[in-house]
Structure 1
């Protein structure tokens, strides 16, 4: 019967239109047409698809429109995949790109099983990630504002006698400095105000995150990651808000590949050549991971700050974090002693650090589940 055959559907999604193509089983791929993006248009499309087959598989590319369409289709009982655009198979000589051809290509790739799915977070996880990303972008804006002011002072041969680390003394000096020229003072004041505005916004968002994170389902993993060296609250929240659920990775190598810190490779025949890291996947999480890895260039030790973050955390997690520190600090020193550049060594440390993050985050969630079961 026709209803027992799977209907494969490809959607080329844009802000105001969706181009639909489909194939019934192994039959010919056809274009259904172009529809709007309103709820009424989606409902009409769903009725048409349901009339063609009982089993329907839908795919569209991940993009700026997010996961709202996927959730709407999933709520209606369809199997909908959001695929990674960079991993869609493409012919080397294909130089023609249209909405129609993209939809047809998605159908063929879905039927062949050549597409890689993107993890679709829950509404709550996405909301928490949105807050964390705004916080991260505000910190970047603060960094750019500070650099703009430093460049302005340098261009006018103005130098601070102490350490320009934006501490209390440095900020007091900036607030009292004057060029003696009304126009320059106005420009300098605007640059200074931009820094203060971004700094206030960062504090406000960090306070909101600290209030929100205990209500997040992955809060135990946030606490567990903070037992590690180089992973403070900001890094733990930033990493987990992007990774979301580490248990979706069956092996730490999958997390390393998702972070884009595995070496690229070109092997053929008996030769095997490895190059720089792939840099695929999530760039923000990769940036936070590399920053955390730099702290392992020092001798292994538990500072008072790390000791404070250990409070209330199960001993098995603390011991695992110490094992990670011993291994990674020692490996960094050995690599540098062999002549490896520090940047190369840090990337290697970051790759192994991702494995420990995978293990410790899972361990933190398991401990929290066991504790809740024991309480019941």
Structure 2
């Protein structure tokens, strides 16, 4: 139950064109009723909530996170109306509930909001959301690049054209440029595939330049810099982690962050039977991929790299360097220990990625940012 003196709980089922609205009375067993459907337009929303405020006074509203983003949240908070954006994956659902429609969803949200059984997501400010969109545009371009490369390789395989060396090196690209086909239609198709890849790679380069240009102006630039003290964490990895996770202080412990990223082991136990499972893999799969890539850097013995020695002392604090060195010693030893016991390298890397997340959490809380306090060196 919510501690505030809430007079009504408003559940909103949000779609591109409409909003389904339900209202729950504040009493535990009070009435929950469907109010109706309105157009998903700023003026209609303003009129509705002005009316609800006049009827009930202090109200709390919620809706599921989804493709409509946080525009409704920002509009309601600007009207001094409390609003929560709910994580869809954490909404309790009955296995016997076989009927789904807008008004039932709105009623369910209002009832669960009153019971305090919903989990809100973290809401980025407008500047942070804009940087996150830029990072996601770059990630989308990288996915397009992988698809374009696969199209080229698939066509070469179909036409029995093989390259003996490593793909996508300078020599391989020169070899690609010299390929010719007996059929003009195939030559045209191959040239279009290659031109498409060039355009995508140009787009990635432009996005990288824009990210580097805008990074110094971002309020979390220092946090990005501090995370790069860790071995295997480059600028792009650090920016992506900060853009997607935002407020590291919302995680009360490193274990909570690990669980949020789906890096903790699952379990399926009953009675005296305990059955551990693999990691849960909940949350952002792109962040897990980046952490796996960073974790591969810890296969080799720990050593003080050029980054920790030569990087500007006013950019990376001594505290971050100390944590980075501690992380190297721990994680390199951890990888060797697990592989020596016969664990597969993928299992060892997953364990390293999980512990690396904990060191990131420590550095992030110590970094100077709008979300956390500066820890003294």
- Normalising by the smaller structure, the TM-score range is over 0.9
Distance (whole Å) between structure 2 residues aligned to residue 51 and residue 281 of structure 1:
39
Displacement after TM superposition at 1:269 (Å):
3.8
Going by fraction, where is helix more abundant, 1 or 2?
1
Displacement after TM superposition at 1:146 (Å):
1.1
Distance (whole Å) between structure 2 residues aligned to residue 369 and residue 280 of structure 1:
29
What is the number of equivalent residue pairs in this alignment? 369
Report whether the alignment pairs 1:337 with 2:311: no
Q: 1:4 to 1:156 in 2, by over 3 A?
A: closer
- In 2, are the aligned partners of 1:8 and 1:58 still within 8 Å (CA)? yes
DSSP-derived class of the 2:22 partner: strand
Distance (whole Å) between structure 2 residues aligned to residue 4 and residue 242 of structure 1:
33
**Residues 181-220 of structure 1 aligned to structure 2 (within 5 Å):** 181-220=183-222
- In 2, are the aligned partners of 1:227 and 1:310 still within 8 Å (CA)? no
Aligned position for 1:316: 319
- In 2, are the aligned partners of 1:246 and 1:362 still within 8 Å (CA)? yes
Displacement after TM superposition at 1:369 (Å):
7.1
Aligned position for 2:263: 261
Q: Could you list the runs of 5+ residues in structure 2 that have no partner in the other structure?
A: none
DSSP-derived class of the 1:272 partner: coil
C-alpha distance after superposition, 1:125-165 (max 9, x if no partner): 0000000000011011111111221121122222224322x
Q: Could you list the runs of 5+ residues in structure 1 that have no partner in the other structure?
A: none
Displacement after TM superposition at 1:85 (Å):
0.7
Aligned position for 1:15: 16
Displacement after TM superposition at 1:305 (Å):
6.0
Displacement after TM superposition at 1:298 (Å):
2.2
Distance (whole Å) between structure 1 residues aligned to residue 71 and residue 311 of structure 2:
37
Displacement after TM superposition at 1:189 (Å):
0.7
Displacement after TM superposition at 1:253 (Å):
1.4
1:129 to 124, 128, 132: 132
TM-score (norm. length: structure 2): 0.92
Aligned position for 1:61: 64
Report whether the alignment pairs 1:51 with 2:51: no
- In 2, are the aligned partners of 1:224 and 1:313 still within 8 Å (CA)? yes
Q: CA RMSD in A?
A: 2.2
DSSP-derived class of the 2:127 partner: helix
Displacement after TM superposition at 1:309 (Å):
5.1
Distance (whole Å) between structure 2 residues aligned to residue 308 and residue 175 of structure 1:
40
Distance (whole Å) between structure 2 residues aligned to residue 79 and residue 231 of structure 1:
38
Aligned position for 2:247: 245
Distance (whole Å) between structure 1 residues aligned to residue 97 and residue 310 of structure 2:
58
Distance (whole Å) between structure 1 residues aligned to residue 312 and residue 158 of structure 2:
46
Aligned position for 2:293: 291
- In 2, are the aligned partners of 1:229 and 1:306 still within 8 Å (CA)? no
- In 1, are the aligned partners of 2:367 and 2:374 still within 8 Å (CA)? no
Distance (whole Å) between structure 1 residues aligned to residue 248 and residue 347 of structure 2:
26
**Which sits farther off after the overlay, 290-299 or 208-217?**
290-299
Q: 1:112 to 1:306 in 2, by over 3 A?
A: same
Aligned position for 1:273: 275
Displacement after TM superposition at 1:52 (Å):
2.2
- In 2, are the aligned partners of 1:335 and 1:345 still within 8 Å (CA)? yes
